[in-house]
A and B are shown apart, each in its own frame.
Chain A
Amino acid sequence: MTTLDERLAELRRRSVPSGPSVDGLRRRIRRRRVRRLAGAGAGAAMAALAVVLGGLVAGPRDDSRTVTVVDDPTESTSTTMSETPALPAEAVGVDRDGELVVFGVPSGDVVRTLYDGGLGDGAPLIDAVDVDSEGSWVYFSTVDHGGELFRVPLEGGDVELLGPGSSPQVSNDGRYLAYSGPRQSLPATIVVRELSTGEERRWSVDSDDPDFFHYNGRISDITWSPDDTRLAYVSAYEGSEVRVLDLDAGSLSASEPIDRITTHPAWLSDTELLGVRECCYPFERDQLEPVVIIVVDTATGATTELGEVVGVWALDVTADRRHALVGSTGVDVSELSLHTVEDLLGGGTAVPGGYRSVAWVP
């Protein structure tokens, strides 16, 4: 009679699928780092868009599996498009391999690669992207050396190193580039550079600010108000806070937090700011912990809760404030979906490709 040990020896004999090569494991490492940028650092450092919510949940880890879409994306899209014909057809973002690409919306098809920063050993990781209002230049920053700023023509061409900094954002009138000073350099600084002259203005924390030492240089997610008079940004003070800097102010200390533990600011109008309120500090929360989408009236400080969604969440809205690319990090992967601003919490339309740090092409 067969013994138990003989039967259990079968556990050692079953054939297993072959694994990836060592190079495949290296690619996996790189993708994990990219995902970490999009997800785990969501609080302070990332301008990353990460996935889904509301009606779309990312389950899969690779292209061979599917994203669950609750609402019919075709139906949703056709309705949306007929009402708002101004939807841009393209966006720029970072794909799963860390490459900066122009992709179609909502197809997710790669139109062209702007910067092959992905798989080569030592290639920098891109953490923030923006396109100027003329659609001429793509500005981006990498995490290397405390943050470095670059730009590349939208049509493709040589990548130009602009200097230290991160979280670049071009003003709506196309005249100014705002960015944060290098990480880990004190005091935390926001810089606004006039693109035509190179002249710069800087806002830092006052040296006599009692919270001075809490500003560890991690300013991110800078975004211009529609009228270009203010900048919303995320600071790393007591976790992650959205603050609003009036450009007439003398220092960053004058910018008050609009809400505690809130990230990913996006302007809906000159006074309305969308944000993502998290339960707790980024290092304490699970990626699937629900977050609350809020709208803050920056004039009165009144906050309205739009609803609760799952995952790390962020968005980039079109210049006309009609559409948004919404991203969130689901279980293991960043995914993107297209929404109307009125239906941010709805199903949206999945944009395949796993893009993060996206920006619309005007």
Chain B
Amino acid sequence: MGAPDFEAWYATERPALVRAIWAIAGDRDLAADVVDEAFSRALERWTRVSSMDSPGGWVRVVALNQLRRTLRRRSLEARLLRRRHERDVALPEPDDDGGVWSAVAALPLRQRQVIALRYALDCSEAETAAALGISEGAASASLAKARRRLGEVLRVEQEVVLP
């Protein structure tokens, strides 16, 4: 596999992954940065990644891990700054469009993750579970809770989740 294959795969996969990470992080620029970092790592290892069963699954996990590290560091840095200089550092605020994005942003992290993977990336429950390193049962339970909460907030009809 060479660079042309990577370029086509990158162009196809990137938008949905940015949307998913955006839904989890609530910050578009942060999401784009995290995703670009993940794809750069894929490019760095393209020979190996391209031979995997699911390169998309690999880059998804890398992006989620990168997001977790970035948020953790931002949080740590903010705490340290507050402690040292009594100054605050702004953490990303969730987008507030009064709609589904802000409703998703208000969910707990795990529920945001499963919603983002399921609906922004069109992952199956098995793929969602694999990306988050949890069981399918846990993914399913989180998804059900998230849907219930979103149904209440958005005041829409609930539907049975398709497998």
Bitwise interface map of B from 73 to 113 toward A, beta carbon under 8 Å scored 1, else 0 = 11011001100110101000000000111001000000000
Tell me the smallest distance from the CB of A305 to a CB of chain B, in Å. Answer: 17
Residue of A nearest to B116 (CB): A11
Max chain B Cβ within 10 angstroms of own Cβ: one of A19, A55, A330: A19
Q: Is the CB of A16 within 8 A of B32?
A: yes
Indicate if A3 sits at the interface (CB-CB under 8 A): yes
Q: Does A302 contact B (CB under 8 A)?
A: no
Which of B50-58, B125-133, B149-157 touches A? B149-157
Shortest A328–chain B CB gap in Å is 12
In whole angstroms, how far apart are the Cα atoms of A5 and B154 in the complex? 11
Are A1 and B32 in touch, CB under 8 angstroms?
Answer: no
Given the known interface contacts A4-B158, A310-B80, the answer about A25 and B32 at a Cβ–Cβ threshold of 8 Å is no
Please state if A68 and B159 are interface contacts (CB–CB under 8 Å). no
Of A5, A6, A11, A20, most B-chain CB atoms within 10 Å:
A11
Question: In the complex the two chains form, is B101's CB within 8 Å of A19's CB?
Answer: no
> What is the 8 Å Cβ interface bit string for chain A, positions 1-14, against chain B (1 contact, 0 not)?
11111111111101
Question: Which residue of chain A lies nearest to B85 when distances are taken between CB atoms in the complex?
Answer: A70
Q: A7 near B77 (CB under 8 angstroms)?
A: no
B16 touches A57 (CB 8 A): no
Binds B, one of A26-34, A73-81, A174-182, A293-301: A26-34
Count of chain B residues with Cβ under 8 Å from any Cβ of A? 53
A89 within 8 A of B: no
Chain A: interface residue count, which band? 35 or more
> By the criterion CB–CB under 8 Å, are A288 and B156 in contact?
no
Q: Which of B3, B73, B159 contacts A3 (CB 8 A)?
A: B159
B15 within 8 A of A: yes
Main DSSP-derived SS at the B contact region? helix
B139 at the binding interface (Cβ < 8 Å): no
B87 touches A70 (CB 8 A): yes
What number of A-B contacts does a CB cutoff of 8 Å give? Answer: 117
Q: Is the CB of A288 within 8 A of B80?
A: yes
Q: Determine whether the beta carbon of A57 is less than 8 Å from that of B73.
A: no
- Chain B nearest Cβ from A110, distance in angstroms: 25
**How distant is the Cα of A30 from the Cα of B20 in the complex, in angstroms?**
26
Residue in B77, B147, B154 whose CB lies within 8 Å of A288: B77
The answer to whether A14 touches B3 (Cβ under 8 A) is: no
| Chain B residues within an 8 Å CB radius of A9 | 119
> Which B residues lie within 8 Å of A22 (CB)?
3, 6-7, 10, 43
Contact of B157 among A4, A24, A29, A331 (CB under 8 A): A4
Interface residues of A in 19-58 (CB under 8 A from B): 19-20, 22, 24-26, 28-29, 32, 55, 57
Given contacts A3-B159, A16-B32, A19-B39, contact A11 B77 (CB under 8 A): no
Interface residues, chain B, with chain A CB atoms under 8 Å away: 3, 6-7, 10, 14-16, 18-20, 22-23, 28-29, 31-33, 35-37, 39-41, 43-44, 70, 73-74, 76-77, 80-81, 84-85, 87, 89, 99-101, 104, 115-116, 119-120, 122, 147, 150-151, 154, 156-159
Known: A7-B150, A28-B37, A61-B33. 16 other contacts (CB 8 A): A4-B158, A7-B100, A7-B156, A8-B119, A11-B23, A11-B115, A17-B29, A19-B14, A19-B18, A19-B36, A25-B39, A29-B40, A32-B37, A288-B80, A310-B84, A331-B73
